Structure 1
Amino acid sequence: MTAFQPRRPLRALFVHQNFPGQYAHLAPILAERAGVQVWGMGEKPGYSAPGVRYIHYGTPKGAGDQTHRYIRSLEAAVRRGQVIANRLVQMRDEEGFRPDVIVCHPGWGDGLFLKDVFPQAKTLYYWEFYYNAFGQDLGFDTTQQVTLDDAARVRALNATQLISLQSADWGVSPTRWQWSRYPGWARRRITILHEGVDTQRCAPRDGAVFRTPEGREFRRGDPVISYVGRNLEPYRGFPSFMKALAIMQKERRDLQAIVVGGDEVSYGRKPEGAATWREKVLGELEGQLDLSRIHFTGRVGHDDLHHLFRVTRAHVYLTYPFVLSWSMLESMACGAVVVGSATPPVQEVIEDGVNGLLVPFFAPEAIAASVLKVFDDPKGHAHLAEAGRRSVVERYDLRTVCLPRQLELVERLAAGLEPVAETAP
């Protein structure tokens, strides 16, 4: 990675509800540069990195009980934005703090009033997902009708982003598809730029071992397949995977499945008639699964996750048309053969039969058939793993691709220069 040399002393402020979030690499790297001062700001205490001065702003109050449900997220965002703005005003007036560049994820309201406190600062915002009632996650499951109430609620969800879009100097979106979801007038000031994958850390390793919470150990060559989600829920294809697993278990008596994820709901609706989606799906498939060969681990540490990707014969990644998970790219970087859903933005990364396999999201039989092909012939599919890692290194590598471009964006904004706009697909 080429050295970043700021044209003048630079003060950069990073703001993220769950700091460091997408800035886990960029903020510390920027802080290493001569003449650069870096502050980080987030809700939770405890963050520490060399050169980054961290401020936590506490947990703001949420929306009131009488708030219309369409705008509860907006009210919560305004409350958060106000807490952050007040804290920064205090720093400005008492300490003389004035950043040159503010890098922010505005999804929770963190970016609403930053320009009002520091009108001269250049702002670079992270645009992750623009909600639409049609053509992406809402209505993807055709068994659920999209009502006017749904469409209106989703339209109102964009209010926080729209206010922040108006005040942002520039933005980044991690994939072309996520970029394409934003209105045309907004896309003209958004660069397609992923936060990057550390392909040195996420790499194949001989002798890798994955241990389940019960102490069961799995190594490369063992009859293992994997599934990972932050939580086990429909948005990430958990029901489709489990239905496919029921088919696979009948076909292969030695197959072991490692399922990573929590039991909360990150996206979409809560299940009806059950406390969790895992409980609901297992209830629907009662008698069809051999639970002794399914290892539910809950959430695991990052290093453990990488070990899983190194030992699995096939990794299943399914998603609604939605935000692309870091786990898919990291699994490819670790040398796993990925069987992914034929949905955007997965299709932006995986080409079927070239660097992975694509399957219909709602087709358990097709998912099972593709996974079993890889399961039965790991050597015959090794080229997919090699090509998958190569794709991530070439397009998303942290040090050689993404960080240099991120640093260039910060430098250009600090110098008062406008980045180059993206062209349409």
Structure 2
Amino acid sequence: MNFLFVHQNFPGQFPHVARALAGMPGNRVVAIAEEKNVVQRLPVHPNVVVKTYRQEKGSGRETHHYIRDFESAVRRGQTVARLAIEIRKSGFHPHVVVGHPAWGETLFLKDVFPNARHISYFEFFYRADGGDVGFDPEFPSVFDDRLRIRVKNTTQLLSLEAADAGISPTLWQQSRFPEEFHSKIRVIHEGVDTAFVRPDPDAAVELDGMTLKRCDKVVTFLSRNLEPYRGFHVFMRTLPLIQKACPEARIVIIGGDGVSYGRRLPEGQTYRAMYAAEAGDKVDWSKVHFTGRVPYNRYLSLLQVSSAHIYLTYPFVLSWSMIEAMSLGCALIASATPPVQEVVEQGENGILVDFFDRDGLAAAVADALDNPGAYEPMRQRARETAVERYDLRSKCLPEMLRYLSGEDDCGLYAVSG
């Protein structure tokens, strides 16, 4: 079969399935991606042919601010459609087109490949209530946001109509989409390679001239970018309380200074610098380690020595890192928000705290540091959850392959509740 993957940051959510399909005899796999995002990236598989495009123009200055994202999506969709036509002329006719519709790349692909089966990755549908918008009183929404968000979903709605089928990684993320489309969207997580992402009682990490091991009191916090959507501001304001309870603890903070979601700061400012300045001398910075973004293996090693791993998120997309932390057997302390509560059961495979409850968060961290033996069963159950529900090899990848290949006709179902 011929498969076409479309993602501006390929492989995005598709590395495992693209690699697996490319390794199967008789399959041809082509990907479309934005050139600047993949030009220096290692190939997913030697048999995956990546075609790139340049997107040099977004929305115009005079465009109404409600539809700037949509204009950019249309322009990107046009660019990708032109590249897809070239691919078609070269003789490649996909049986299956798999894409992430958020940036508009898939808008016109059904017109280019009308006989293909089109499957979209539906990650998140924005709503004015019940999700990220208006969740944090520090960043309140206004009535204009309700109107803007309704228009913001234009690209998604067009993609929902055009897709033959869809994928969403969690039940909660699927539930955010209009109910009339649920029958199109199968819940399949991308999966975690739990055989590789596993606990290591002998792990040791060199950090700022010292060696951290499992026997040390290490608190870890992780986000691709350190920003409020992932609770960075709450964590930073909890640091004085954590250090008061456990002055010997080492605090390891992994993540970049950009903004993946939410409001951007003025040029040159970062949330890390903002909240560090706010904390000032209330924090013993000699025991706080900002690593920035780190290579994957080092990230795993840092979590392997973690005594308490903190994961906070708005009601939004669930991070891969939380499932990976569970696969590593971390003592997980996470926000009691809907995407997390789908996976974490209080006291069973993690500890849940109110997103805004700094006292509760600090108390949970202190207890995990002071009573590590009591958390071993919870650590083990966290790993069991990752293996049973999210293992790449035994569960998620086989299910994804069946779904994309059309072998799993029962995959189109509605999930209630």
TM bucket normalised to smaller: over 0.9
1:52 to 48, 70, 81: 48
1:367 to 330, 345, 361: 361
1:91 to 84, 87, 100: 87
1:209 to 180, 198, 204: 204
Offset at 1:272?
7.2
Counterpart CA distance in 2 for 1:47 and 1:294 is 33
Instruction: Say whether residues 1:30 and 2:21 are aligned partners.
Output: yes
Instruction: Indicate the residue corresponding to 1:196 in structure 2.
Output: 191
Whether the 8 Å contact between 1:47 and 1:54 is mirrored in structure 2 is no
Whether the 8 Å contact between 2:185 and 2:412 is mirrored in structure 1 is no
Instruction: Say whether residues 1:164 and 2:159 are aligned partners.
Output: yes
Instruction: Indicate the residue corresponding to 1:121 in structure 2.
Output: 116
Instruction: Say whether residues 1:270 and 2:264 are aligned partners.
Output: yes
Instruction: Indicate the residue corresponding to 2:223 in structure 1.
Output: 229
Offset at 1:50?
2.5
Paired letter, 1:407: L
Counterpart CA distance in 1 for 2:388 and 2:411 is 22
Give unmatched runs, 5+ long, in structure 1: 1-9
Encode CA deviations 1:298-329: one digit per residue, 9 max, x unaligned.
11111111111110001000000000001111
Offset at 1:209?
2.2
Counterpart CA distance in 2 for 1:176 and 1:50 is 34
Give unmatched runs, 5+ long, in structure 2: none
Instruction: Say whether residues 1:293 and 2:283 are aligned partners.
Output: no
Instruction: Say whether residues 1:16 and 2:7 are aligned partners.
Output: yes
Paired letter, 1:329: I
Paired letter, 1:406: M
Offset at 1:207?
2.5
Counterpart CA distance in 1 for 2:410 and 2:30 is 23
Whether the 8 Å contact between 1:271 and 1:280 is mirrored in structure 2 is no
Paired letter, 1:347: Q
Counterpart CA distance in 2 for 1:64 and 1:31 is 39
Structure 1 residues 367 and 273: CA distance shift in structure 2, 3 A: farther
Q: TM-score, normalised by structure 1?
A: 0.94
Whether the 8 Å contact between 1:249 and 1:255 is mirrored in structure 2 is yes
Counterpart CA distance in 1 for 2:74 and 2:83 is 14
Q: Could you say what the CA RMSD is over the residues aligned between the two structures, in angstroms?
A: 1.6
Paired letter, 1:364: R
Paired letter, 1:97: F
Paired letter, 2:189: H
Instruction: Indicate the residue corresponding to 1:105 in structure 2.
Output: 100
Encode CA deviations 1:74-116: one digit per residue, 9 max, x unaligned.
11111111111101111212x1221000111111111111101
The correspondence of residues 58-97 of structure 1 with structure 2, limited to 5 A, is 58-93=54-89, 95-97=90-92
Paired letter, 2:81: A
Instruction: Indicate the residue corresponding to 1:253 in structure 2.
Output: 247
Counterpart CA distance in 1 for 2:68 and 2:205 is 42
Whether the 8 Å contact between 2:222 and 2:254 is mirrored in structure 1 is yes
Percentage of identical aligned residues: 45
2:339 to 331, 338, 345: 345
Paired letter, 2:329: G
Encode CA deviations 1:393-416: one digit per residue, 9 max, x unaligned.
000000111011101101217x9x
1:395 to 357, 364, 389: 389
Counterpart CA distance in 2 for 1:294 and 1:283 is 14
2:416 to 418, 421, 424: 424
Structure 1 residues 419 and 252: CA distance shift in structure 2, 3 A: closer
Offset at 1:336?
0.7
Offset at 1:141?
1.1
Whether the 8 Å contact between 1:274 and 1:280 is mirrored in structure 2 is no
Counterpart CA distance in 2 for 1:18 and 1:182 is 23
Whether the 8 Å contact between 1:60 and 1:80 is mirrored in structure 2 is no
Instruction: Indicate the residue corresponding to 1:139 in structure 2.
Output: 134
Offset at 1:274?
8.1
SS of the equivalent of 1:42 reads strand
Instruction: Indicate the residue corresponding to 2:376 in structure 1.
Output: 382
Number of residues paired by the alignment? 412
Q: TM-score, normalised by structure 2?
A: 0.96
